[in-house]
Structure 1
Amino acid sequence: MIGDPTVAGVLLAAGDSDRFGERDKLLATLDGGPLVRHAARTLADAEVGPVAAVVDPGSTGVRDALAGLDVAVVGNPDAAAGQAASVRHGVAWARDRADAVVFALGDMPRVDPETVDRLVAAYRDGRGSALAAGYEGERGNPVLFDGRHFDALAAVEGDTGGRAVFERADDAAVVETGDPGVRLDVDRPGDLDGLRE
């Protein structure tokens, strides 16, 4: 391959927020903006491109929250089927645009863009074809997959996303980032308290 491989960014933002209560957790406010916008900015500000967000077509609020960012919006009409459906739609979008894809989660607003850059640098340095961001030895998100895993990712089912694909990769690795945000997600309203600056 001539030159650096292209790495796309895909934000998984079509979740159903079951544990959060009545409102869509991705639209909960943190530091003056919705969670999903913070998460999308992580990819938009990182050295990846192109970037897309996979959203539930019925959630106009999430689409509106992403307005003005250099992020394509990909509808996932199967959002209720679990995270794997969003992974499949993200892979379908990325397949003809990139050699690898970084998957980030819409409910993880504290990931630093430099963390994504570290994953991409590790991939380009040949550290593995499946790389997860880590903090203090614990695996977190986002996760990068080389194109060799696209077919397996396109076949995932259920609510576990690409975890099984990562675990089956013979050269999977955790990249230490020094970023606690890779382990901080929002499941319940109380989780926001620990994220406020």
Structure 2
Amino acid sequence: MSDLRGEVAVKPTVAIVLLAAGMATRMGPNGGHKLLAEFDGMPLVRRSALTASNSHAESVTVVVGHRQDDIRKALCDLQLNVVANPDYASGLASSLVIGFVAAEANGVDGVLVMLADMPGVTSSDLNRLITVFQGGKGASIVRAVSQGKPGNPVILPRSLSDAVLRLKGDIGARDLIKASGLLVIEVEIGDAAQIDVDTPEAIIAAGGVPAEG
């Protein structure tokens, strides 16, 4: 009988960081908060958090900032790690840094960065990205695309930690990916990879109901 010890491959682990700290400036002065718009009878941020929680990820960290009391209220009964970004007004990078550090504290091999304003992304989409990341031994970047056009979410491997921590301003993963030199594996998920709801018109077009002021 052969000894199989040491031959069982451990799958790379992935944690999700859900970015929900932005100021939603394109909603206009009376447009309400886009993440509190209703989709399927619930605030979009809650719906996005449930999508993340129902995936195969090890954990879900939500980064909050602008109107965080309202966002926290929408998430209050969910099993999530909610972290505040006091510097959210400086741009996307600060939220990405805080979320990446929080997710990495669990010792995961990759961080799936998910934007909370993308209602078309499903748990199945997230699972496909995670499976591809695991198939690449946790060494590659995995990015959702729509008809070949780069979109979100994206999984960043642990090896990019230092590069993430150096990000500043309104810079997200896209710039990091260009400079990384790592293999990028693209996963087609259809229109969901491109649809975010930054305006009241976009919310309505995506099947949502804008929140009041």
Taking structure 2 as the reference length, the TM-score comes to 0.86
User: In structure 2, what is the equivalent of residue 37 of structure 1?
Assistant: 46
User: In structure 2, what is the equivalent of residue 61 of structure 1?
Assistant: 70
Q: Which runs of 5+ in 1 are unaligned?
A: none
Return 9-18 or 106-115, whichever deviates more: 106-115
Question: Whole-Å Cα distance in 2 between the matches of residues 151 and 176 of structure 1?
Answer: 25
Q: Tell me by how many angstroms 1:57 deviates.
A: 6.9
Following TM superposition, the consecutive aligned residue runs of length 4 or more in structure 1 with deviations greater than 4 angstroms are none
Secondary structure of 1:12's counterpart equals strand
Mapping of 1:72-83 within 5 angstroms?
72-83=81-92
CA contact (8 A) 1:15 1:79 kept: yes
Taking structure 1 as the reference length, the TM-score comes to 0.93
CA contact (8 A) 1:156 1:162 kept: no
Choose the corresponding residue for 2:177, options 166, 169, 185.
166
User: In structure 2, what is the equivalent of residue 121 of structure 1?
Assistant: 131
User: In structure 1, what is the equivalent of residue 4 of structure 2?
Assistant: none
Q: Which runs of 5+ in 2 are unaligned?
A: 1-7, 209-213
CA contact (8 A) 1:122 1:175 kept: no
CA contact (8 A) 1:142 1:182 kept: yes
Question: Whole-Å Cα distance in 1 between the matches of residues 19 and 12 of structure 2?
Answer: 22
Q: Tell me by how many angstroms 1:168 deviates.
A: 1.7
User: In structure 2, what is the equivalent of residue 192 of structure 1?
Assistant: 203
Greater Rg, structure 1 or structure 2? 2
Q: Tell me by how many angstroms 1:2 deviates.
A: 5.2
Choose the corresponding residue for 2:26, options 19, 34, 40.
19
Secondary structure of 1:73's counterpart equals strand
| Alpha-carbon displacement from aligned partner over 1:19-51 (angstroms, at most 9, x marks no partner) | 012322111122211111121122111100111
Question: Whole-Å Cα distance in 2 between the matches of residues 34 and 129 of structure 1?
Answer: 33
Question: Whole-Å Cα distance in 2 between the matches of residues 32 and 159 of structure 1?
Answer: 31
